[in-house]
């Protein structure tokens, strides 16, 4: 559970808009060890999401290199990246991104469709994950029948279903009220304690202070990277 | 990603938009049903023609009295009898390609048996007539030599006449009056069904040609040897055209026609006419099926349209699937299976509708239809192919999306 999980060197991303070139990320280098809980902060447009998308192998960098779990992923093809995402990564989005008219259970099992897991084990596995986020009773509910917090829990269960090394959450509490946000952070903290590396993007200092390390971005660069004495989210709930 | 799971996703996606899926299928349903019905109707028409050829007997040529030019005015076909019984015998005797030639006299009139009566046609024939028409006697016997030469008062009776005069009782040895002339029924003819012009071929009486000429048709014809037509059967495998030519030559010679003078008879090759009819009904069936398949094509375009809309609508879903590990080919398969499922379900409904429709047409319009397994297989295969063909482009488009752009799509 120790060692480097993420290593980026001079990672850069620029967007071409006609003749304009928008630099969204300008040479970011850092390492994140396995088992860390990292919060990424910064003003709007500072490149946080761009950075997360690169970490999540959803986008190709325009420059620099990226090693994930010892494997250089910045040069991989689309299909190879799909494999990496399926095996090693879990995503939690601001707006949950659950499939409508699809049960919680099927939503959670979605990544398993694209894995090598035999079909008969998938349901069992997905049920376990739903139980882990406290929604065992809601497995037949559709997203529209669940509260925002519950939907985000389903999304977290989906992120966990492939036993990822890294969970990436871009403003996971952005659409939730403050109490539900703390509940979600408590869940993420618990997962982190179980060994999963977590990177969370947030605008809120309260939320960032549940992490063990806070990285601040501005204009596509890291301006601050400091350890943090994490607050215990679960304790705040009682 | 296995096939069952893909199929489940496809069915789920189609169920979400039931109305839209149904409407999209409609094009395929109509197309497939139309193709099947058209082929069934065409096949039925063709089968009818084939059956007529069979019932007429193959290799038949008919010689009819032609026009005689008298004082510059030409009479119509058969307006004046120009061919004779002896022409018929000569054809049968002298032309080797001819298997049999049967001169016939035709008449019609009232037939009475007891207190039942019926109006029908009768033919004066020679025994060759039955051979030419491949017509069997199912009950009783044919004409004997003495009856032929002596204008015997005997008659063969068709099924329709028998039914109308005698009901279910046997007509054998009964006496019927044809134009008041009493004739004894000595045989019953096998059922022939409808002719190509829709006439009931079983509504008929056959008698020796001498009987018809001297006893039934009356005095006008009594002394002449002329006949209305000669029905000729060409040997199996012989060349119809050369038989035809030799026959014309023989008749011209017998009628003492000078070179340059018109024939005073007509020669009709019936099976040729029927074969032409068969060919044209085949072309018709093909044409109808082609028109029907245009609606299949339109149905295919409908599928493509809806799949394109679906890909756009579900861009975020595609992005999400890619984010959790779907490869380009998984997305391609998913949308392709969806399109093919749509077209195959439509095809299956269309097949049922087509079968039902052609039965209904047979029932209501009285047309003969003939469903063929091959047309059903063809229609199903075509529907599937349309799903693949028109589903491919939208599916490819979906699979080419970049994960991050698809996820961010509003
Ligand atoms: N697809 C794109 N095309 C062009 N420019 C883009 C694109 N995505 C992001 N950018 C630009 O890149 C820069 C960084 O954007 P990014 O989304 O990473 O910011 P962010 O830190 O996540 O902001 P927020 O807190 O508002 O989510 C911005 O200037 C943005 O306009
Ligand atoms: Mg952002």
Assess whether the C-beta atom of A152 lies below 6 angstroms from ligand 1: no
pLDDT for residue B264: 86
- Arithmetic mean of pLDDT, A74-92: 94
Identify whether the C-beta of residue B207 lies closer than 8 Å to the C-beta of residue B216.
Answer: yes
Query: Residue A181: pLDDT band by 50, 70, 90 thresholds?
Result: very high
Assess whether the C-beta atom of A107 lies below 6 angstroms from ligand 1: no
- Enumerate the residues of chain A whose CB falls inside 8 A of the CB of residue B325: 82-83, 85-87, 111, 114-115, 162
Query: Residue A1: pLDDT band by 50, 70, 90 thresholds?
Result: very low
pLDDT for residue B56: 66
pLDDT for residue B283: 84
Along chain B (410 residues), what's the average pLDDT of each consecutive run of 10 residues? 79 85 91 88 81 70 73 52 88 89 91 90 92 90 91 93 91 91 94 78 93 82 79 85 88 89 83 75 81 85 92 94 94 93 93 93 85 87 91 95 90
8 Å CB contact of A101 and B4:
no
Query: Which one, of B340, B321, B327, B338, lies nearest residue B388 by Cα?
Result: B340
- Arithmetic mean of pLDDT, A30-39: 96
pLDDT for residue B78: 47
pTM of the model: 0.73
pLDDT for residue B316: 93
- Enumerate the residues of chain B whose CB falls inside 8 A of the CB of residue A143: none
8 Å CB contact of A82 and B322:
yes
326-345 of B, contacting A, C-beta below 8 A = 326-330
Give how far B312 is from chain A: nearest CA, Å.
15
Q: Which ligand is nearest to the CA of A21?
A: 1
Token pair listed for A120? 């008969």
Give how far A93 is from chain B: nearest CA, Å.
10
pLDDT for residue B80: 64
Residue A76 included in any domain: yes
Count of domains forming chain A:
1
pLDDT for residue A118: 87
CB burial string A37-66: b at 16+ within 10 A, e below: bbbbbbeeebbbbbbbbbbbbbbbbbebeb
A150: domain CATH number is 3.40.50.300
pLDDT for residue B76: 52
Helix (H) or strand (E) holding A33: strand A20-33
Identify whether the C-beta of residue B67 lies closer than 8 Å to the C-beta of residue B79.
Answer: yes
Helix (H) or strand (E) holding B406: helix B403-408
- Three-class SS of residue B286? helix
**Portion of chain A with pLDDT greater than 70, in percent:** 99
Structural domain boundaries of chain B? 3-53+275-408, 100-235
pLDDT for residue B271: 67
Using CA of residue B210, residue B211, residue B215, residue B217, what is the dihedral sign? Answer: negative
- Euclidean distance between CA atoms A108 and A117, whole angstroms: 14
- Best residue among A24, A58, A174, A215 to mutate for probing ligand 1's pocket (most ligand atoms within 8 Å of CB) is A24
8 Å CB contact of B323 and A113:
no
DSSP code per residue over B27-38: HHHHHHHHHHHH
Range of the domain at A141: 35-62+71-237
Residue A30 included in any domain: no
Residue A29 included in any domain: no
Assess whether the C-beta atom of A58 lies below 6 angstroms from ligand 1: no
pLDDT at A214 over 70: yes
**Inter-helix orientation angle B315-323/A78-88, to 10°:** 70
Q: What is the pLDDT of residues A115-141, one digit of tens each?
A: 988 888 999 999 999 999 999 999 999
């Amino acid at each position: 559970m120790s060692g480097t999980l993420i290593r980026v060197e001079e990672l850069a991303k620029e967007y071409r808009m006609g003749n304009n070139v928008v630099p969204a990320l300008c040479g970011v280098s850092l390492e994140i060890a396995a088992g860390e809980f990292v919060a990424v902060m910064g003003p709007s447009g500072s490149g946080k999401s761009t950075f997360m998308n690169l970490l999540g192998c959803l986008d190709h960098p325009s420059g620099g290199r990226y090693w994930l779990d010892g494997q250089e992923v910045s040069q991989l093809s689309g299909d190879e990246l799909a494999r990496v995402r399926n095996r090693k990564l879990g995503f939690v989005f601001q707006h949950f991104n659950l499939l409508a008219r699809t049960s919680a259970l099927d939503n959670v099992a979605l990544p398993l469709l694209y894995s090598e897991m035999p079909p008969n084990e998938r349901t069992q596995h997905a049920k376990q994950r739903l139980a882990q986020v406290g929604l065992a009773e809601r497995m037949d509910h559709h997203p529209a029948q669940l509260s925002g917090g519950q939907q985000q829990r389903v999304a977290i269960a989906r992120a966990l279903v492939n036993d990822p090394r890294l969970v990436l959450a871009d403003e996971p509490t952005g659409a939730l009220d403050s109490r539900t946000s703390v509940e979600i952070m408590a869940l993420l903290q618990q997962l982190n304690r179980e060994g999963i590396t977590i990177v969370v993007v947030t605008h809120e200092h309260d939320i960032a202070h549940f992490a063990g390390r806070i990285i601040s971005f501005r204009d596509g660069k890291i301006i601050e990277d400091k350890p943090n004495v994490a607050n215990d989210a679960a304790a705040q709930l009682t | 990603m296995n096939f069952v799971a893909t199929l489940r996703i496809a069915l789920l996606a189609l169920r979400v938009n039931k109305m839209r899926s149904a409407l999209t299928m409609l094009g395929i349903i109509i197309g497939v049903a139309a193709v099947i019905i058209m082929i069934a109707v065409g096949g039925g028409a063709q089968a009818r023609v084939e059956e007529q050829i069979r019932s007429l007997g193959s290799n038949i040529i008919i010689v009819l009295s032609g026009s005689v030019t008298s004082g510059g005015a030409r009479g119509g076909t058969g307006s004046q009898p120009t061919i004779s019984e002896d022409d018929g015998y000569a054809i049968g005797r002298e032309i080797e390609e001819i298997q049999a030639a049967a001169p016939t006299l035709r008449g019609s009139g009232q037939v009475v048996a007891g207190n039942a009566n019926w109006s029908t046609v009768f033919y004066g024939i020679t025994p060759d007539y039955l051979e030419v028409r491949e017509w069997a006697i199912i009950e009783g016997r044919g004409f004997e030599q003495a009856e032929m030469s002596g204008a015997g008062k005997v008659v063969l009776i068709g099924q329709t006449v028998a039914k109308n005069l005698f009901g279910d009782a046997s007509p054998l040895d009964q006496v019927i009056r044809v134009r008041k002339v009493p004739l004894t029924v000595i045989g019953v003819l096998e059922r022939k069904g409808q002719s190509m012009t829709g006439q009931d071929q079983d509504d008929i009486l056959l008698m020796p040609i001498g009987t018809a000429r001297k006893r039934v048709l009356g005095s006008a014809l009594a002394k002449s040897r002329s006949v209305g037509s000669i029905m000729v059967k060409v040997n199996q495998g012989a060349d119809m055209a050369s038989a035809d030519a030799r026959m014309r030559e023989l008749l011209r010679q017998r009628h003492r026609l000078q070179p340059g003078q018109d024939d005073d008879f007509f020669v009709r090759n019936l099976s040729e006419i029927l074969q032409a009819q068969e060919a044209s009904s085949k072309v018709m069936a093909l044409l109808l099926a082609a028109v029907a398949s245009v609606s299949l094509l339109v149905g295919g375009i409908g599928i493509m349209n809806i799949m394109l809309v679906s890909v756009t609508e579900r861009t975020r879903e595609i992005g999400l699937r890619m984010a959790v590990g779907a490869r380009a080919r998984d997305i391609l398969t998913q949308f392709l299976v969806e399109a093919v499922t749509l077209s195959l379900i439509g095809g299956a409904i269309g097949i049922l509708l087509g079968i039902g429709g052609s039965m209904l047409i047979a029932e209501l319009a009285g047309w003969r239809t003939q469903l063929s397994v091959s047309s059903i297989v063809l229609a199903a295969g075509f529907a599937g192919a349309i799903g693949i063909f028109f589903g491919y482009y939208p599916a490819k488009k979906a699979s080419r999306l970049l994960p991050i752009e698809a996820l961010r799509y509003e």
